[in-house]
């Protein structure tokens, strides 16, 4: 983690710790020592304490008695997590198409292009970070902090799950049963869907943004389930006719 963080900026401290959690540098179940984190980041304990409170709210940290630990992963909860992602994603994309501003569109397009540039590198973490920023830009474009909070929490949890599924000791990268060819095809389809999402939001097409959000959810879920549950996408049945939330 960066050792040159401005201690007056609690949000920056929270971002640094969140990145460490999502990169699996801070593993699930690990106790977060305020003094140790403050020393590593060259800050006082106050912004670290504030950051932990924020991360508890985000669902990435949880209380365990008097200690704060990196939130554990309950794989029995995975179906519920993906239900939450589907519902919240549809809400966010509908709202983004309705309420986005020109500034929002510029941010979405910029993060979309950043992701496309990241697909040429071998670092899966960097790709995942770029993907996260694209979706957070859409979340901000919804201009509803209540729905955005719901969506951001589900999004962060699913990204964390995906990174855990594709993790090796000391690295985070895509593993078998994914081949290089499958990864390339997945990234190409992801780029296509990102551009379709951006176009729908830019056009203010609420229904189209909703439908593409469902397609994108299916793409994301299938990729994780292929590793987590060894699901064969050729036989998986997915209901795409869900009524709008």
Three-class SS of 69-87: EECCCCHHHHHHHHHHHHH
Categorize the per-residue pLDDT at 54 as very low, low, confident or very high, splitting at 50, 70 and 90: confident
pLDDT, greater one: 233 or 146:
146
Q: Which SS3 state, helix, strand or coil, does residue 64 take?
A: strand
| pLDDT average, residue stretch 209-213 | 98
Categorize the per-residue pLDDT at 95 as very low, low, confident or very high, splitting at 50, 70 and 90: very high
Categorize the per-residue pLDDT at 230 as very low, low, confident or very high, splitting at 50, 70 and 90: low
- Name the pTM for this structure: 0.73
Residue-level pLDDT at 77: 79
Buried b (16+ CB within 10 A) or exposed e, 228-245: beeeeeeeeeeeeeeeee
Query: How far apart are alpha carbons 167 and 155 in whole angstroms?
Result: 18
Domains and CATH numbers, the chain: 10-70 (1.10.10.10), 75-228 (1.20.120.530)
pLDDT, greater one: 22 or 53:
53
Q: Is 109 exposed, middle or buried (0-12, 13-18, 19+ CB in 10 A)?
A: middle
Q: Which tens digit of pLDDT belongs to each residue from 103-118?
A: 999 999 999 999 999 8
Q: Which tens digit of pLDDT belongs to each residue from 154-202?
A: 998 888 887 766 554 334 444 444 577 888 888 899 999 999 999 999 9
């Amino acid at each position: 983690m960066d050792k040159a963080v401005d201690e007056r900026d609690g949000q920056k401290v929270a971002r640094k710790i969140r990145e460490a959690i999502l990169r699996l540098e801070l593993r699930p179940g690990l106790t977060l020592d305020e003094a140790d984190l403050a020393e590593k980041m060259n800050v006082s304990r106050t912004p670290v304490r504030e950051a932990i409170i924020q991360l508890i709210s985000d669902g990435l940290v949880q209380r365990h008695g008097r200690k704060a630990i990196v939130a554990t992963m309950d794989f029995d909860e995975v179906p519920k997590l993906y239900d939450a992602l589907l519902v919240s994603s549809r809400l966010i994309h509908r709202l983004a198409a309705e309420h986005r501003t020109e500034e929002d569109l510029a941010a979405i397009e910029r993060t979309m292009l950043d992701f496309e540039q990241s697909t040429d590198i071998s670092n899966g973490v960097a790709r995942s970070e770029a993907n996260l920023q694209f979706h957070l830009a859409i979340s901000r474009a919804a201009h509803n902090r209540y729905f955005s909070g719901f969506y951001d929490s589900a999004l962060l949890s699913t990204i964390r799950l995906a990174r855990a599924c594709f993790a090796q000791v000391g690295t985070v990268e895509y593993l078998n049963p994914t081949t290089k060819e499958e990864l390339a095809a997945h990234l190409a389809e992801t780029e296509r869907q990102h551009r379709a999402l951006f176009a729908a939001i830019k056009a203010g097409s609420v229904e189209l943004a909703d439908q593409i959000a469902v397609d994108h959810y299916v793409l994301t879920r299938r990729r994780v389930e292929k590793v987590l549950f060894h699901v064969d996408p050729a036989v998986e049945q997915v209901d795409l006719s869900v009524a709008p939330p």
